[in-house]
């Protein structure tokens, strides 16, 4: 309740309801989404995800709580940051977006496309794609753009996950 000081009366507080910027059904196609400055095997925060797909962060949290989004990477892999953001792999987000539209886009394909687009490397062998992703991720180190910082053990496990994907 808010008190109206001009007459001493009490009136209810205004409630503002906003629709999410993008409803779940209207998310963009994977081919329309970009994550500037990172590769498709890179981890990004939920803030970067919502920016890239044009979704409201609150809506993203609701979708995540309803298990409609991809699972985040293990939180034990990362140093605690203010707000404790969840971290996702770009390829997981792109594959999820594609699957929502009935398209097929798997992790090795997103990595292969990233190697071709971002590094000019045309690689078709999935094992070679994984090795190159591992090599570039190791070279990037445990601190990544967007405030993603691995713990030493988390970085080791992340690198191992690239070879096992």
* N residues, the chain: 165
Task: Determine the 3-state secondary structure of 100 from DSSP.
Answer: helix
Per-residue pLDDT tens over the stretch 1-57: 555 555 555 555 566 655 545 788 889 999 999 999 899 999 999 999 999 999 999
Indicate yes or no: pTM above 0.75: yes
Domain range list for the chain = 33-164
For position 103, what pLDDT does the model report? 93
Alpha-carbon Rg for the chain, nearest whole angstrom, is 20
């Amino acid at each position: 309740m808010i008190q109206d000081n001009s007459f001493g009366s009490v009136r209810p507080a205004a409630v503002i309801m906003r629709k999410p910027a993008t409803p779940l059904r209207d998310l963009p196609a994977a081919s329309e989404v970009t994550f500037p400055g990172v590769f498709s095997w890179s981890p990004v925060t939920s803030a970067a995800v919502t920016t890239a797909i044009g979704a409201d962060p609150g809506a993203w949290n609701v979708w995540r709580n309803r298990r409609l989004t991809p699972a985040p990477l293990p939180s034990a892999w990362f140093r605690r940051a203010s707000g404790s953001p969840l971290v996702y792999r770009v390829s997981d987000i792109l594959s999820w977006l594609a699957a929502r539209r009935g398209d097929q886009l798997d992790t090795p394909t997103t990595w292969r496309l990233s190697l071709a687009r971002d590094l000019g490397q045309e690689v078709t062998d999935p094992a070679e794609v994984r090795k190159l992703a591992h090599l570039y991720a190791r070279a990037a180190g445990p601190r990544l753009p967007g405030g993603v910082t691995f713990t030493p053990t988390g970085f080791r496990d992340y690198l191992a996950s690239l070879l096992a994907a």
